[in-house]
Amino acid sequence: MAFKISTAAGAFALMALSAASVFAQSNPLAEPTAARTDTKTIIVGSADFPESQLLATIYAKALVAKGIAVETKLNIGSREVYIPALLDGSIDLLPEYAGATMSYLDKNATAHSPADVAAALKAALPKGVSMLTPSAAQDSDSVAVTRATAEKYKLKTIADLAPVASELVLGGPPEWKTRKEGIIGLKELYGLEFQSFKSLDVGGPLTLSALVNGQVQAANLFSTDPAIAANDLVVLDDVKNLFPAQNIVPVIATPKVSDVVTKTLDAVSAALTTKDLVVMNGRLANHDSFDVVAGDWLTEHKLN
């Protein structure tokens, strides 16, 4: 079966190609916190994958349109890097995924529905950090396999992997080794022990290529990735709710919260849909820049 790897790979290549921005942008976390004397500017950060960078760009542009001074520090890294950056003042605002952040902050969290996850996340946030209104839009972690693998082993759910996991290699980002929403949860909740785990990227071209080329037989991809449909991949149903609701939510340093910031970002969250994420990710895959895609979306929704 022929697979269309290039569709998704282009989106992740943009991490390098989209360095030019309409905003003043420093290397992520390059400047020490002690050097900050400007208390008005909001520094918007992001994780190290395109959708997060796109959402951060949307936040930044929406705030700029309201006259707020903004700086961006995109492509910082994983949650294990950017949450400490938020806590130490290196960044002030970032787009987050409610369930994953909840689990990161509270290892014993069991909430699954959007409302329960939002409540649990709010309770788990450290002092000095606030969350604004979550969006209905979600982008969840998933375990995906090729159509051929699904048919060979009759796989429809993650639980179906139990009899064959020992024969398969699992691929995912390095942090999956230690995350509940990763190897730990797959073992504890589903009883899965894979032949081995291959550290790749965050649902990017390495993961996709490894999956479609057979270097791994199951992999972590994001549910809004247009490569899933383009490559006829099968997302296995999470019947035991390993992955909690992953609504997009702005997380912000409490001192930077104001009426205008809240109203602006709440309007973004209210307009954003899961379908929007899939469409915009598809445009990134076709080499449109973060700035252009974000600007077009904001214009469409009259938010800039």
Residues 161 and 276 in one domain: no
Q: What band does 3 get if pLDDT is binned at 50, 70 and 90?
A: very low
CATH number at residue 161: 3.40.190.120
Residues 290 and 215 in one domain: no
Q: What is the DSSP string of 163-188?
A: TTGGG-EEEE-GGGGT-IIIIIHHHH
Are the C-beta atoms of 37 and 43 separated by less than 8 Å?
no
Provide mean pLDDT across the span 132-147. 96
Residues 215 and 272 in one domain: no
Task: Give the E-state strand segments of 56-192 in sequence order.
Answer: 70-73, 93-97, 129-131, 141-146, 169-172
CATH number at residue 54: 3.40.190.10
CB atoms within 10 A of CB 69: 12
Provide mean pLDDT across the span 15-28. 38
Residue 15 pLDDT: 34
2: pLDDT strictly greater than 50: no
Is the Cα dihedral 259, 261, 262, 266 positive or negative?
A: positive
9: pLDDT strictly greater than 70: no
Is residue 91 in a domain? yes
Is residue 1 in a domain? no
Provide mean pLDDT across the span 159-166. 98
51: pLDDT strictly greater than 80: yes
Residues 129 and 254 in one domain: yes
Mean of pLDDT over the chain: 88
pLDDT digits (tens, 9 = 90+) for 89-139: 999 999 999 999 999 999 889 899 999 999 999 999 999 999 999 999 999
- Between 40 and 72, whose confidence is greater? 72
pLDDT digits (tens, 9 = 90+) for 186-232: 999 999 999 999 999 988 899 999 999 999 999 999 999 999 999 99
Domain that residue 274 falls in: 6-138+245-300
273: pLDDT strictly greater than 60: yes
Is residue 157 in a domain? yes
Q: For residue 2, give the nearest of 234, 282, 231 by alpha carbon.
A: 231
What's the domain count of the chain? Answer: 2
